[in-house]
Structure 1
Amino acid sequence: MNNELNLLSDQQMADFIVNGYLVLQNDLPKELHRGVMRQIDYALQNEGNPGNNILPRVPDIGKFFDTPVVKGALTSVLGPDYYMHPHRHMHYNQPGNQAPGGGQWHKDGYWSAMRSHRPWWVMMFYYTQDITEDMGPTAVMPGSQYSEKLPGRETVLPTGKAGTIALVHFDLWHKASLNTSGLDRYMLKFQFVRLREPVLPSWNHADGEPDFPVDAPDGHRVLWQDTWNWLRGDRDGKPAEAGEAFELGEPDELNAALSAADAVVRARAADRLGWIGKAGAGSAAKLAGLVSDAAEDVGLNAAYALGRIGASGTEALLGLMKRGSKQAAQRAAYGIQAAGAAAVPGLVEALRQAEENGRGLAAFALGMNGAGASPAVPALIEALGDESEWVRRNAAEALGMIGERADETIPALVRLLRESVERESEAGASDGNSNLYVANQAYIANKLGYTAALSLLRIGKLGDPELVVSGLRAGLASKDRYTRAYSFEALTALRTEEAIGVLIQHYRTARWCPDTHPASTF
């Protein structure tokens, strides 16, 4: 294993936060890429797309992700103990096989209970051959990772020689572009997850302030700064100095601009009010009204501004989470991240008293607070018994993100994992689930078991090994392949004698031969 790391720079991290992608280059022998291409082509032509099995089918692909460039980039964004998700795919774009313009714009199906602005997840689009625009590379829409609706922005087609990589925020809008060349285009999509909240910068940080764009029509400087502070491990970070080019204006002027007919003017005014912090508290009511603005940039900036202006803003966000429309409540849950630990008491109250939507969003926001939400652990454990499956799932994920009070948390997660697997054979096992936010996650058959196993992967090493192994053993028996995958990885992380024994037993029936195909005889 190569232990060298080419960590990202401050500018690269700032660019990733703003644009949602970086183009990197793996410098590997051409023959390695050619060999992988030959194996992939054979598999596709003779066996079909291996899907999640692409890595064991073509083991040399693993060498692509064991380089200083790849490991350094993933460490920079996700921390040193990131995990390669078991879902991966070989994308195959044949010449002229699409409607004009290429594929459909989309965000990939996500793996958490909710999408996250903070980079808990990333993808890598890896090109095994020299890639040019006419070959139909995956188009990305810079900055669109924070947009629920497809925004109207210009697009980018990452190109380069074999080994070109697009490191992508998981929620970036993207699509396959039209292949007008005479060549087949291959792209490997691999996904990665962060296991712990940041406590220190994990990139090549020089203690400088980020160079974020000034006055971009679709700018989110408070959101960007919040992400930057979080990645530095600064839970209650304040906005940086505005800089000479970033004219803030007076609170009264900004308050008036919130009523402008032009959405760009409203969005900029909201962003600046968030930047000046408590000095903008007098605009809390108007900002709260803008969270549900039809212009998504306005709504997001208003929500994040409320998270920065103090108690009045936090109170407004909590009210929207409890009683606002689904859209406004979700934006409020993102914005309240910027309030940090000050929002925890109100979130605990919402977790116990709000309607289903508000309870689930409160659990999500508590998880995003990480260790700062330690006082909420008892309430989150209580929420594991909520009548709503979606609330239970958000609570289970939050407990793994918080990572505190393991003596209370881990027994509850083990119990949830066991019970969810036992219930898989029961008809209607997902009672109480109103399909909030998860209607397109049919690929996760056991959402509660999957999430409990993910949280045990994150914090299982902090608990009683025998208890954790007993729960993960049950997870290996799940009908859901991703619950099994996380249980397997969590056992690998434990590495106790009992965990290794369970893994060996599992290997004997789960091991996969990459050389077996329809034409093989032995």
Structure 2
Amino acid sequence: MDRKIHTHNKNDDQHDIYLVCQAGTVVIIHYDIVHRGTANRTSDSYRFMFKFQFNRLEEPTQPTWNHDPTNAFYDAADAGLLQPIVKHVWNWMIGRVITSQQPLIDQDITTWKTQLNNQDGKIRLNAAYNLALNNEYNILIRRLHNNKEIFRFEAAYALTACRHNKEAITELRAVLKKEEKNEYIAYCIAFIFSEMGSTAIDTLPLLIRIVETNGSCLVKQYCCEALGTIQANEQHDINMVVRCLTNVLADRDQLKDSKDSSHMRLTAALSMAKLGTKAIQAIPILKDALYLDQNRYVNGNALNSIGWLALSRCAILCNQADFKQDPENLSKPVLGRECTGDSSESALLKCVELS
């Protein structure tokens, strides 16, 4: 979760799969796995790589692949100890709302609570996610106060599985309000809200206030990320969110700029891209970030934001074509219909203007 921390990059697993590939191999892999800090196993040879980063700009609401409906209730039984994690990710990717599992017995909860301190990271994660998926969120919230960093991280990841539990979100919001000056707890909770997405919509006012008043760039970075993921599929308080993010982007002191501050701005720019056309009033600030910010990742995310805004506007204008109204023309497929004028020309001109 924290890019600065590599102390616990291993999860007690002796069976890691290393990315040692033939030249020319294309590997599609999660960003965090690449930055896990795995030892270089090819030190006796040269390595050359092109890296392309892809970011999801909106939450999945349904399968985006050739989905077999018979797999809709995949239970991840083949995932071993990681079963609850895989089930959570699967349900998120196909847009399913899962509020709780089967009724528990006290022995299950007691066992999972004990396993939270196990030396094996997979056993700890299994216990944490099982507690989260069975609405035992208070146990995990208390875990956020633990002195051991890895325990806080595991609790935070597991709590993202409570995204459809309003009581859990309310309790997390209360803890964040109380502990917003405690960096280690505050950024964990902001991260949780960023992973929950639109279900954490009620946290927007608090997140905005923290961005505007908190002194920790790390806390503000995760709050900025949460503003983008929460608003990606929503329209609530959009002007306040855009204003908050543009203020972050515009606040740069190139002489005193720290890495933490620039990471905060690149996250704000990425959140702008997630807002899409809802952030159209931010184009002047995004253009400044594109040309004036010294962090190339801020430049890249600002360019993505402007590009999506321009393309969206172009598509809207093209969609406003005035078709000839004779019945024969209207009976044709949309792409084959004749227009009374060329809407694409004006759309492209507008696209250039916005860019």
TM-score class, shorter-chain normalisation, is 0.5 to 0.7
- Ranges in structure 2 where 5+ consecutive residues have no aligned partner: 253-260, 316-345
Task: Indicate how the Cα distance of structure 1 residues 338 and 451 shifts in structure 2: closer, same or farther if over 3 A, else same.
Answer: closer
Q: Which protein has the bigger helix share?
A: 2
Aligned match of 1:415 in 278, 284, 298? Answer: 284
Q: Secondary structure at the match of 1:202?
A: coil
Deviates more, 1:301-310 or 1:345-354: 301-310
Which residue number in structure 1 is paired with residue 168 of structure 2? 313
Aligned match of 1:364 in 209, 217, 225? Answer: 225
Which residue number in structure 2 is paired with residue 472 of structure 1? none
Which residue number in structure 2 is paired with residue 258 of structure 1? 113
Q: Is the 8 A contact 2:194 2:223 kept in 1?
A: no
Which residue number in structure 2 is paired with residue 111 of structure 1? none
Which residue number in structure 1 is paired with residue 90 of structure 2? 228
How far the C-alpha of 1:454 sits from its partner, in A, is: 1.9
Task: Indicate how the Cα distance of structure 1 residues 330 and 252 shifts in structure 2: closer, same or farther if over 3 A, else same.
Answer: farther
Aligned match of 1:458 in 282, 303, 308? Answer: 308
Which residue number in structure 1 is paired with residue 126 of structure 2? 268
Q: Secondary structure at the match of 1:194?
A: coil
Q: Is the 8 A contact 2:313 2:351 kept in 1?
A: no
Separation of aligned partners in 2, 1:502 and 1:372: 23
Q: Secondary structure at the match of 2:26?
A: strand
Structure 1-normalised TM-score? 0.46
Structure 1 counterpart of 2:214, which letter? E
Separation of aligned partners in 2, 1:402 and 1:175: 38
Q: Is the 8 A contact 1:364 1:394 kept in 2?
A: yes
Q: Is the 8 A contact 1:352 1:359 kept in 2?
A: no
Separation of aligned partners in 1, 2:89 and 2:119: 24
How far the C-alpha of 1:267 sits from its partner, in A, is: 4.0
Which residue number in structure 2 is paired with residue 348 of structure 1? 205
Task: Indicate how the Cα distance of structure 1 residues 203 and 299 shifts in structure 2: closer, same or farther if over 3 A, else same.
Answer: same
Which residue number in structure 2 is paired with residue 191 of structure 1? 52
Separation of aligned partners in 1, 2:160 and 2:176: 13
How far the C-alpha of 1:239 sits from its partner, in A, is: 6.9
Which residue number in structure 1 is paired with residue 331 of structure 2? none
Aligned match of 1:211 in 45, 64, 76? Answer: 76
Separation of aligned partners in 1, 2:161 and 2:21: 41
Aligned match of 1:201 in 51, 58, 63? Answer: 63
Task: Indicate how the Cα distance of structure 1 residues 301 and 421 shifts in structure 2: closer, same or farther if over 3 A, else same.
Answer: closer
Q: Is the 8 A contact 1:321 1:361 kept in 2?
A: no
Q: Is the 8 A contact 1:201 1:231 kept in 2?
A: yes
Task: Indicate how the Cα distance of structure 1 residues 225 and 500 shifts in structure 2: closer, same or farther if over 3 A, else same.
Answer: same
How far the C-alpha of 1:497 sits from its partner, in A, is: 5.0
Q: Is the 8 A contact 1:336 1:365 kept in 2?
A: yes
Q: How does 1:334-483 map to 2 (within 5 A)?
A: 334-337=191-194, 339-353=196-210, 355-357=214-216, 358-383=219-244, 384-386=246-248, 390=261, 393-403=266-276, 406=277, 408-412=278-282, 414-420=283-289, 424=292, 445=295, 448-463=298-313
Q: Secondary structure at the match of 1:375?
A: coil
Structure 2 counterpart of 1:231, which letter? M
Task: Indicate how the Cα distance of structure 1 residues 450 and 188 shifts in structure 2: closer, same or farther if over 3 A, else same.
Answer: closer
Task: Indicate how the Cα distance of structure 1 residues 240 and 199 shifts in structure 2: closer, same or farther if over 3 A, else same.
Answer: same
Structure 2 counterpart of 1:196, which letter? L
Separation of aligned partners in 2, 1:335 and 1:156: 28
**Alpha-carbon displacement from aligned partner over 1:461-519 (angstroms, at most 9, x marks no partner):** 22379xxxxxxxxxxxxxxxxxxxxxxxxxxxx9925767999xxxxxxxxxxxxxxxx
Q: Secondary structure at the match of 2:65?
A: coil
Separation of aligned partners in 1, 2:353 and 2:226: 38
Separation of aligned partners in 2, 1:164 and 1:392: 33
Q: Which protein has the bigger strand share?
A: 1
Q: Is the 8 A contact 1:351 1:359 kept in 2?
A: no
Q: Is the 8 A contact 2:112 2:127 kept in 1?
A: yes
Separation of aligned partners in 2, 1:274 and 1:227: 13
**Alpha-carbon displacement from aligned partner over 1:303-360 (angstroms, at most 9, x marks no partner):** 5336517233213433454525434333323333564433112133221246244444
Q: Secondary structure at the match of 2:28?
A: strand
Structure 1 counterpart of 2:308, which letter? R
Task: Indicate how the Cα distance of structure 1 residues 374 and 289 shifts in structure 2: closer, same or farther if over 3 A, else same.
Answer: same
**Alpha-carbon displacement from aligned partner over 1:29-83 (angstroms, at most 9, x marks no partner):** xxxxxxxxxxxxxxxxxxxxxxxxxxxxxxxxxxxxxxxxxxxxxxxxxxxxxxx
1:177 maps onto 2:35 in alignment: no
Which residue number in structure 2 is paired with residue 481 of structure 1? none
Q: How does 1:269-284 map to 2 (within 5 A)?
A: 269-277=127-135, 280=136, 283-284=137-138
- Ranges in structure 1 where 5+ consecutive residues have no aligned partner: 1-106, 108-113, 116-145, 243-247, 425-429, 431-443, 466-493, 504-522
Which residue number in structure 2 is paired with residue 20 of structure 1? none
Separation of aligned partners in 1, 2:77 and 2:226: 25
Equivalenced residue count is 292
Task: Indicate how the Cα distance of structure 1 residues 457 and 213 shifts in structure 2: closer, same or farther if over 3 A, else same.
Answer: farther
Which residue number in structure 1 is paired with residue 13 of structure 2? 153
Structure 2-normalised TM-score? 0.64
Which residue number in structure 2 is paired with residue 82 of structure 1? none
Task: Indicate how the Cα distance of structure 1 residues 254 and 191 shifts in structure 2: closer, same or farther if over 3 A, else same.
Answer: same
Which residue number in structure 1 is paired with residue 348 of structure 2? 496
Q: Is the 8 A contact 2:75 2:83 kept in 1?
A: no
How far the C-alpha of 1:364 sits from its partner, in A, is: 0.9
Task: Indicate how the Cα distance of structure 1 residues 162 and 348 shifts in structure 2: closer, same or farther if over 3 A, else same.
Answer: same
Separation of aligned partners in 1, 2:224 and 2:101: 32
Aligned match of 1:300 in 139, 148, 154? Answer: 154
Structure 2 counterpart of 1:170, which letter? Y
Separation of aligned partners in 2, 1:175 and 1:263: 22
Q: How does 1:43-54 map to 2 (within 5 A)?
A: none
Structure 2 counterpart of 1:205, which letter? H
